[in-house]
Chain A
Amino acid sequence: MSTDYQTNEAKSLLRRVLDSDIWYSFKKSKVTMVAAGVALIIFLAALLAPLLAPHNPFDLASLSLMDSLLPPSWTGMGDPRYLLGTDDQGRDVLSTILYGSRISIAVGLASVAFAAVLGITLGLVAGYMGGAVDAVIMRVADVQLSFPAILIALLIDGTISGLTGGVNREETAFTVLVISIGLSFWVQYARTVRSSTLVERDKEYVQAARLIGLHPFLIMLRHVLPNVMGPVLVIATINLALAIITEATLSFLGVGIPSTQPSLGTMIRIGNDFLFSGEWWITLFPGALLAVLVLAVNLLGDWLRDALNPKLR
Chain B
Amino acid sequence: MIAFVIRRIIQSIIVIMVVGLVAFVMFRFVGDPVNQMVGLETSIADRELLREQLGLNQPLIVQYWHFISNAAQGDFGTSYQYRRPVSEILGERLPATLELALVSAIFAIAAGIPMGVYTALYRDSVLSNIFLTVSLIGISLPSFLVGILLIFIFSVHLQWLPSFGRGEVVDLGWWSTGLLTATGLKAIILPAITLGLFQMTLIMRLVRSEMMEVLRTDFVKFAKARGLKTRVVHFGHALKNTMIPVITITGLQFGSIIAFAIITETVFQWPGSGLLFLQAVQNVDVPIMAAYLLMIAFLFVLINLIVDVLYVVVDPRIRLEGS
Contacts and interface: CB of A to CB of B under 8 A. Distances in A.
A69 to B, nearest CB: 16
A246 to B, nearest CB: 9
17 contacts: A143-B18, A147-B297, A150-B259, A151-B296, A154-B277, A154-B278, A154-B281, A161-B284, A162-B30, A166-B284, A249-B142, A252-B263, A275-B156, A276-B155, A283-B152, A287-B148, A291-B140
Interface in A139-180: 139-140, 143, 146-148, 150-151, 154-155, 157-159, 161-163, 166
A162 B145 contact: no
Contact of A268 (B26, B148, B301): B148
Interface in A112-158: 139-140, 143, 146-148, 150-151, 154-155, 157-158
B282 interface: yes
Contacts of A291: 137, 140-142, 145
A93 interface: no
Interface of A: 139-140, 143, 146-148, 150-151, 154-155, 157-159, 161-163, 166, 241, 245, 248-249, 252-255, 268, 272, 275-276, 278, 280, 283-284, 287, 290-291, 294-295, 298
B140 A294 contact: yes
Given A163-B30, A275-B148, A290-B145, A146 B281 contact: no
Interface of B: 15, 18-19, 26, 29-31, 136-137, 139-145, 148-149, 151-152, 155-156, 163, 256, 259-260, 262-263, 266-267, 277-278, 280-282, 284, 286, 289, 293, 296-297, 300-301, 304
A268 B15 CA distance: 37
A221 B142 CA distance: 37
A150 B152 contact: no
B284 A162 contact: yes
B18 to A, nearest CB: 5
Contacts, number: 109
B64 to A, nearest CB: 17
Contact of A241 (B140, B260, B277, B286): B140
B259 A147 contact: yes
B156 A147 contact: no
A162 B151 contact: no
A276 B155 CA distance: 9
A162 B137 contact: no
Given A148-B259, A151-B262, A255-B282, A158 B145 contact: no
A248 B137 contact: no
Contacts of B259: 147-148, 150-151
Given A249-B144, A295-B137, A255 B281 contact: yes
Contacts of B148: 268, 272, 275, 283, 287
A24 B151 CA distance: 44
Contacts of A140: 18
Contacts of A155: 26, 281, 289, 293
Contact of A287 (B30, B145, B293, B300): B145
Given A245-B142, A298-B140, A253 B263 contact: yes
Given A154-B262, A158-B289, A268 B145 contact: yes
Contact of A275 (B26, B29, B140, B151): B151
Given A154-B277, A162-B26, A291-B142, 9 more contacts: A140-B18, A147-B296, A147-B297, A155-B293, A162-B30, A253-B278, A290-B142, A295-B136, A295-B137
Nearest to B140: A295
A158 B281 CA distance: 5
Contacts of A157: 281
B281 A294 contact: no
Contact of B30 (A143, A154, A159, A295): A159
Contacts of A275: 148, 151-152, 156
A228 to B, nearest CB: 28
A63 B301 CA distance: 52
Contacts of A150: 259-260, 262-263
9 closest Cβ contacts across the A-B interface? A158-B281, A162-B30, A162-B284, A295-B140, A148-B259, A245-B142, A151-B259, A252-B144, A148-B256
Contacts of A154: 262, 277-278, 281
Nearest to B141: A291
A295 B133 CA distance: 11
Contact of B263 (A159, A249, A276, A294): A249
Contacts of A294: 140-142
Given A143-B15, A291-B145, A158 B262 contact: no
Contacts of A253: 144, 262-263, 266, 278
Nearest to B155: A276
Contacts of A284: 152
Contacts of B301: 146
Contacts of A139: 18
Nearest to A160: B30
Contacts of B262: 150-151, 154, 253
A158 B263 contact: no
A275 B297 CA distance: 36
A248 B26 CA distance: 25
Contacts of A143: 15, 18-19
A268 B145 CA distance: 8
A203 B148 CA distance: 54
**A278, A290, A291 — most chain B CB neighbours (10 Å):** A291
